[in-house]
Amino acid sequence: MPTESSNKPTPLLWLTFAVAFVVLVVDQLTKLWAVARLEGQAPTEVIGGALRLNFVRNPGAAFSLGGGFTIIFSLIAVGVVVVIVRTAGKIESKAWAVALGGLLGGALGNLMDRVFREPGILRGHVVDFIQLPHWPVFNVADMAVVGAAALMAYLTIRGIPLSGAKEVLVEESVSS
């Protein structure tokens, strides 16, 4: 029988949701700014040729692929959000909490565009506006998803599970 304390959210659950919230807020604020300041404007060089602001409404997925599958991408994003929220309560590793929070925030950021932007619910186009040389245009949510994926790959390669068991062993061996 579960104890009263097992029903309480863990601090790492809150960390996951805090990271997701920060990513989501920064993503949405930067997209609001981009729509207000960049839409209809020519691309702007910011740091020489290293960074350009280039407004694009993207109906597809990463790299503007699959523009005809917007509804499918929206449903996949909903699935990702559900899986992360269900998994978040099991996290006992700070690094995994940050990784899943970044993925959740990024998925929610682009999902909000797909739900609330034209041309309609689950078909909305994602606002992208950041461009690096020889790279497609992207946004803050995309950066969070890629960063989270890189961190998850690193944690997996290092053998650190969601439970953080290896993390504890590493900390104990260092303190010995």
Catalytic residues: 128, 142
Under 8 Å between Cβ of 27 and 139: yes
Name the strands in the sheet holding 44-47, side by side, starting at the edge strand that comes first in the sequence.
44-47, 51-58, 126-131
User: Comparing C-alpha atoms, which of 25, 112, 23, 118 is closest to residue 74?
Assistant: 112
Residues 6 or more apart whose Cβ sits within 8 Å of residue 138:
128, 130, 131
Provide the β-strand partners of residue 45: 52
Name the helix (H) or strand (E) containing 3.
none
Coil vs helix vs strand at 135: coil
The conformation of residue 43, written as its DSSP 8-state character, comes to P
